Amino acid sequence: MKGYLTVFLALTLSVMTGFILLLAGMAVKNAGKVRLECAVDTGMNAVLAEFHTELFERYGLLYVDASYLEKAPAISNVEGRLKYYVDANTTQLPEQRNAPWGSPAVEQVRILSFETAAADQGASMRSQAVCYAEDLELCGDERDAFGQMEEIRALEAEDPMGEWMSVMATLAGMELPCIQNEKGEWEEVPLSNPADWVFGLVGSSILYLTRVDGAYLNPARVSLQEYISHRGMENSTASGRVYREEKELFLSYLFDRMGYFENGRDGSLLDCQLEYLAYGGDSDLENMEAVAKTLLKWRFADNASRARADGDLRSQAAAAAQELLVVALKAEFSEPVVESILYACAFLESIADVESILAGGSVPLRKSGHTMSVSHVLNGNLYRGGDGGGWSYRQYLAAMVLLAGEEELNLRAMDIMEMDLRYQDGNRNFAMDWCLERLEARVTARSGRDRYEIWRKYGYY
């Protein structure tokens, strides 16, 4: 009986010992996996903690720069940083005192997929910007433009300059009357249209006519081929997430974070950054010229409609036309001359309006009255308008920014961000399409005969 008991206990102890060793082995294996998971989680958080501080401080955006300031941008740079952090919590642990038994050794770190600021043509950047504006409750008078975009598009569709040119072309094509001179010879009577000198200003620089101070214009000319909207964007694939696009918040963000005429930001390659968003020229001068031309077009459209509808102003123009010998000799000249004078009056007032806006004044989008007078056309002098209330330069500029397409606006905004960041030391390789917001990684490691694979997907949003 004692022999049977001894054999039974021996067999039982053998089974129990094997079972205990199996449990111990599984525990060691699972402990290694848990340690690796913790190390990978720590590593992913550490990589995201290395966000680009200058981009965050200047634009409030959270992204990891894959160039790491000095290198050529590449996903291998990010893999190297992640491996460094995972190694620090796995492979390097056995070298330390009281290190855990069975620590896994990292074999490979791969970034399987990632999402950048350029995802969906810059929708990622825009989404973060909207969140930033919402958190800070940004809201300025630039948002007034949203309520008047129908009027803006109506002004944009009008072509008073083309109409004026047509009137002047009609006059140029009309046959002038002839009279006999003292020698008995027949000669043409000159038209002597008082609107001619004003029409001659049409090809002049609007910035010159409105006496804009060039000190507010950065003389730099940028090479647009170096920036994301022109060089050929990379890494624009999106993961299918829904991005925030609120136009009002994004517009307020742009006016808060970027500079514009007479309100530039320090450390910028271009001072007129919002003007660049609207027109995309390679210099402040080119963009401001485009802004001034648009202002003149809108103001001319409004002023021309008022001038032609004003009976008193038309009477003044008709009286001036009747003083011309050509009109006295050939009545069909009267109406086109009157029209040309009315357009000239509107053009002069439009120049005064643009000068007032660029000088910090305000002018209504649609005026209820005007200060036009035929005397300015007859006397041959420009006149200066005053502040009549209405829209400021910010509001007119906001309308121009809104006329740009959303994708084009996103790309130009990222152009400005690249310009600003590269302007700073140590950021020569900065690129928005290599700024990571989300990344999915796979880490493989080995501990003895055990092999582990861990997948993680981390991001800021």
Which pLDDT band, with edges at 50, 70 and 90, does 386 fall under? low
pLDDT of residue 217: 85
Mean pLDDT lowest among 89-93, 160-164, 233-237: 89-93
pLDDT of residue 448: 74
Phi, psi angles (nearest 5°) of residue 259:
-90, 165
Dihedral sign for Cα 432, 235, 124, 218, please. Answer: positive
**What is the pLDDT of the chain when averaged over all its residues?**
88
Mean pLDDT of 5-31: 62
18 pLDDT higher than 70: no
CA atoms in the 13 A half-sphere facing the CB of 269:
18
CA atoms in the 13 A half-sphere facing the CB of 426:
7
Mean pLDDT lowest among 78-82, 208-212, 270-274: 208-212
pLDDT of residue 239: 82
pLDDT of residue 10: 67
Which pLDDT band, with edges at 50, 70 and 90, does 425 fall under? confident
Which pLDDT band, with edges at 50, 70 and 90, does 446 fall under? confident
Cα(220)–Cα(271) distance, rounded to whole angstroms? 9
Cα(459)–Cα(275) distance, rounded to whole angstroms? 33
Q: What is the pLDDT of residues 250-284, one digit of tens each?
A: 999 999 999 999 888 888 889 999 999 999 999 99
pLDDT of residue 23: 59
pLDDT of residue 350: 94
Mean pLDDT lowest among 97-111, 302-316, 408-422: 97-111
Provide the residue type at 344 as one letter: A
Torsion of CA 199, 200, 205, 207, to 10 degrees: -60
- CA 296 to chain CA centroid, Å, is 23
Mean pLDDT of 386-400: 88
145 pLDDT higher than 60: yes
